[in-house]
Structure 1
Amino acid sequence: MPVIISGHQPNYLPWLGYFHKMMSCDLFVILDDVLLSRAEITKKNKIKGPEGARLLSVPLKRKRAFIKDTTIYNEISWCFNHWGSLETCYARSPYWKQYKELFYPIYHNREENLANLNLRLIEVIRSILGITTPLVRSSEHPEIQGSKGDLVISLCQHFQADIYLSGNGARAYNNEQAFERSGIRLVYQDFQHPVYPQLWGDFLPNLSAVDLIFNCGPNSRDYLTKQVIL
């Protein structure tokens, strides 16, 4: 059987497409030794409240650093504000009481490092979704070199992958000819965002995966269909 790998930065409370990609591969690489994006998407995401989409953003001390070295600005009470927003938005949801205790310690034990914070949340979410794909951090494998498309090819070669499952946003920099020369098949993610029961009016897509979890509980995985790659 061909070995399929994929990867992504350790984002904050990632959206469903992140976990769809994770469940569709044999190994998921946490790209934590790349620079924090100028758009800072690694530190923020949206949930849904009575007013619509609500942005949660983690304050940082220094914004141009490798993700693994990015520290959180804990001099303000952001974690209590985020927890308060989660409670306000989801206390009426069917599964808030069932899952809130899994998230509570993360928001009430101050974490200094952004990557570590995000990975703790990712582990909780993927456990609820029943995703068992192994995770590795790229920073633990310094022999992986390069940037953007070259970095992806390097990690594929390092982990002896046959197929790389890429997000569609990488089309801008993936060198498809380089993948072909390296003997690696490049496949783009085919994710169709599900519609599920949601609080607060009309359905909003592209929120953090916690929106699905608090609304649909143990049935959440049923809304994610693994991408079959032949």
Structure 2
Amino acid sequence: MNCLIHPTYFPNVAHVTIMVKSDVVYFEVCDNYQKQSHRNRTEIYGANGKLALTVPVSYTQKNRQLYKDVKIANEDNWQQQHIKSLQSAYSMSPFFEFYIDDLMPLFENRFDYILDFNLHCFEVLLHMLQLNIISKPTLCFEKEPIDKIDYRQLVKRNFEVNTLQPYTQVFTEKHGFISNLSILDLIFNEGPNTELYLKKQTL
């Protein structure tokens, strides 16, 4: 199958499950930006439970902008805050030390646009997991896509996925299993087993 999906900030497990099972991943890059979505937000498992990491963007609802034109608000020191949060959440996970060096350039280099940054995140994930996923950007916005299964609804923050199989997380004993977090949660906890886990999931 071919899928149509939004590039997001370290996509959640459901997003990557769809990508791994697709022949071609079409990234929606021709839509209008919308707030309150996973476009600029990822969720990890901190010591107190679910923790949202949000990339600040320069955007107002009054002036509609295309997703590809929305800039990151780099005056906020968000990159340092995010890497500290990841270190605090996952430094005790089995595979943190194995993968963290691959992620560091994303938090050390400046990125001007949220879409470009998200696509860089995707490329880093492919490298980390040695995945061969064919991806293409959309050339125009299609309300009713042709020859693609539309998974764009997964970008919504309130879209729930409860069918994912549990795996051991750092703070499972404190708060239980939290489903559909950032793919980083799965990678740090499952390491090389990540791809096999994703292929076993059904949405």
Counting aligned pairs with the same residue, the percent is 28
Q: Cα gap change, 1:85/1:47 in structure 2, threshold over 3 Å: closer, same or farther?
A: same
Q: Deviation at 1:44? A: 0.4
- Judging changes above 3 Å, is the alpha-carbon distance between structure 1 residues 39 and 105 closer, same or farther for their aligned structure 2 residues? same
Counterpart-to-counterpart distance in 2, 1:95 and 1:105: 18
Cα offset, 1:165, TM superposition = 2.8
Residue 126 (structure 1) shift: 3.0
Say which of 159, 181, 194 aligns to 1:220. Answer: 194
1:148 aligns with 2:131: no
Shift of 1:35: 0.8
Gaps in structure 1 of 5+ consecutive residues? 157-163, 171-189
- How many pairs align? 190
1:27 paired with 2:1, answer no
Change (3 A) 1:91 1:210: same
**Other-structure match for 1:180:** none
CA RMSD of aligned residues (A): 2.2
Q: Displacement, 1:168?
A: 8.4
- State the 1:227 CA deviation: 7.7
Equivalent in the alignment of 2:15: 18
1:204 to 172, 178, 186: 178
Change (3 A) 1:17 1:126: farther
Secondary structure at the aligned position of 1:38 is classed as: coil
Contact 1:70 / 1:113 at 8 angstroms: preserved in 2? Answer: yes
Unpaired stretches in structure 2, ≥5 consecutive residues: 155-160
Are 2:126 and 2:133, in contact at CA under 8 Å, matched by a contact in 1? no
1:53 to 36, 50, 73: 50
Work out which of the two has the higher radius of gyration on C-alpha atoms and give 1 or 2. 1
Structure 1: which amino acid aligns with 2:73?
Y
Q: Deviations over 1:62-83 (max 9, x none)?
A: 2442111110000010111011
State whether residues 19 and 126 of structure 1, in contact with CA within 8 Å, keep that contact through their aligned partners in structure 2. no
Q: TM-score, normalised by structure 1?
A: 0.76
The structure with higher relative contact order (CA 8 Å, sep 6+) is 2
Give secondary structure in 2 for the equivalent of 1:225. helix
Match for residue 37 of structure 2 among 35, 40, 44: 40
Which residue does 2:120 correspond to in 1? Answer: 120
Correspondence for 1:110: 110
> What residue in structure 2 maps to residue 84 of structure 1?
84
